Every structure is written in structure tokens, then in C-alpha cells.
């Protein structure tokens, strides 16, 4: 499974940097399992491609996550605040990896 993650925006605008690209084949088994569990818990492949940003979202971070597996591929665009705790956990995991 291949995961691509970008973030941009914020109070002090951060332009999109190089995307984080993670291939679960390259991760230790425990990390790969954790990432796949987060994707599954978030219902990632059922999420809408885009969600309308809340009012006043100009200063919020925006995230793009793409997941490609052997049988399916999906991309979502999210804007803070993310209300679903499972989706938020996935974003936090990816943010930590991007640092």
C-alpha cells in the first residue's frame, strides 16, 4: 500500500512542500500494520473526496491524502478542524511522519 500526504496553509501560510510518500512494504511490520489499521479505522476508502471547509477556514491547515492499494485507490482533501477522531488520528500519524 502506498500513502501520499501533503499539508499546506495555516495561520502563517505554508506552501505545500514535498509530499510524504510511505510504502508499507518499506516499513517494519508493526508500523505497516499500524498505518493500515488507521486507514481502516478512518473508513478512508469511504470518505468523500472533498469536504466543505468550515466558515473562516482561511487560516486552517489543508491536507491531501492518497492511498493506493492493490485493488483500490482513493484521494481525500481535508481541512481543519477534523471532527472524526479516527480521521484525525490518521492525519496526526502522517504529520508526525512528515516531520
Measured between alpha carbons, how far is 54 from 5 in angstroms, rounded to an integer? 21
Of all residues in the chain, what percent carry a pLDDT higher than 70? 86
Q: Report pTM.
A: 0.88
Measured between alpha carbons, how far is 65 from 11 in angstroms, rounded to an integer? 21
Chain-wide mean pLDDT for the chain?
89
Q: Which residue has the higher pLDDT, 78 or 60?
A: 78
HSE, CB side, 13 Å, CA atoms: give it for residue 24. Answer: 18
The pLDDT, as a whole number, for residue 20 is 95
Measured between alpha carbons, how far is 3 from 71 in angstroms, rounded to an integer? 14
Q: What is the pLDDT of residues 64-89, one digit of tens each?
A: 999 999 999 999 999 988 989 999 99
Amino acid at each position: 500500500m502506498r500513502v501520499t500526504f501533503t499539508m499546506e496553509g495555516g495561520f502563517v501560510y505554508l506552501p505545500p512542500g514535498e509530499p510524504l510518500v510511505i510504502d508499507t512494504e518499506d516499513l517494519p511490520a508493526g508500523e505497516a500494520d499500524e498505518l493500515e489499521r488507521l486507514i481502516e479505522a478512518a473508513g478512508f476508502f469511504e470518505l468523500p473526496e472533498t469536504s466543505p471547509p468550515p466558515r473562516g477556514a482561511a487560516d486552517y491547515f489543508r491536507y491531501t491524502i492518497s492511498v493506493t492499494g492493490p485493488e483500490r485507490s482513493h484521494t481525500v482533501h481535508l481541512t481543519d478542524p477534523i471532527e472524526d477522531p479516527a480521521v484525525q488520528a490518521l492525519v496526526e500519524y502522517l504529520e508526525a511522519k512528515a516531520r
